[in-house]
Amino acid sequence: MRENTLRSIWARGETVINGQCGIASSHVAEVMSQQGYDSLLIDMQHAPVNFDALFAMLQAASTTNTIPLVRVTWNDPALIMRALDSGAYGVICPMVNTADECRRFVGACLYAPLGYRSYGPVRGYLYAGPDYYAKANDTILPIAMIETAEAVANLDAILSVPGLAAVYVGPSDLSITYGLAPSTGPHDPAMHAVFDTIVAACRRHGVVPGIHGFDPDYSRARIAQGFQFVTCGVDIDLIYAGAQDHVKRVRA
């Protein structure tokens, strides 16, 4: 089975630099996957990416060594299994607030006896190899999003769920549940203290802590804080920033 290099990076104690793709285009996914990211997250939650687009985007990303991940719209077993059958090497699930919700999510990612995933990796075995079934449970990454105060309160129970590989903090949603604005809350020292709590809990349980990193400075600060999976670069944001910079420089 094709190696999931994210597991290898984490085993060395290093950090995964992740890119995010929300433009429903195989060409954009192809371009993003060739920019040096360790992984590429295709976002179905907040972006207009349907399953037809997802399938083509996963095919485009598989021409590189960048590991393909998918953020599904919700903790729905059908969505999770379809993403994995399409060739995702990890699934990020939003709004996981309790251990029961985490067990349901992880179970959908793994084959029995560890989970209840249905067998039918239509494209998964083409991407991963003919021994997909035998090694999938040790390769696929179930990643639960921690983005509410409720989830932080239940963190030790969530992190105790067998098979959970990593958590992924959504700083904006998490800020809202602590009474902060989604635009400024992620930069608030009070929120950074919550991040410290999450990192410490992950270390206790042997689960990788991840977070959405916004810009390079924010991402570097979170890496220094102990996060080992950091998103730095969303396709649409990069277009905004690049276009604005070009127009500004030409008008000057």
Helix (H) or strand (E) holding 169: strand 166-169
Residue with tokens 């989830």: 151
Rg of the chain over Cα atoms, rounded to whole angstroms, equals 18
What is the tens place of the pLDDT at every residue in 16-35? 999 999 999 999 999 999 99
- CA dist 165 and 179 (Å) reads 29
The CATH number assigned to the domain holding 202 equals 3.20.20.60
Which candidate in 46, 187, 192, 246 is catalytic?
46
In this prediction, residue 226 carries a pLDDT of 98
- CA dist 94 and 97 (Å) reads 9
In this prediction, residue 140 carries a pLDDT of 98
Task: Give pLDDT < 50 ranges for the chain.
Answer: none
Catalytic residue status for 187: no
Q: Where are the alpha helices (DSSP H) in the chain?
A: 5-11, 26-33, 51-61, 77-85, 99-109, 124-128, 132-139, 149-153, 155-159, 171-177, 189-205, 216-225, 235-251
What is the tens place of the pLDDT at every residue in 55-79? 999 999 999 999 999 999 999 999 9
Q: Pick left, alpha or beta for residue 148 (phi over 0 → left; psi -120 to 50 → alpha; otherwise beta).
A: beta
In this prediction, residue 117 carries a pLDDT of 98
In this prediction, residue 64 carries a pLDDT of 97
Number of compact structural domains in the chain: 1
Range of the domain at 70: 5-251
- CA dist 30 and 35 (Å) reads 9
Name 16's bridge partners. 229
In this prediction, residue 23 carries a pLDDT of 98
In this prediction, residue 62 carries a pLDDT of 95
Alpha carbon 131 to its chain centroid, in Å, reads 24
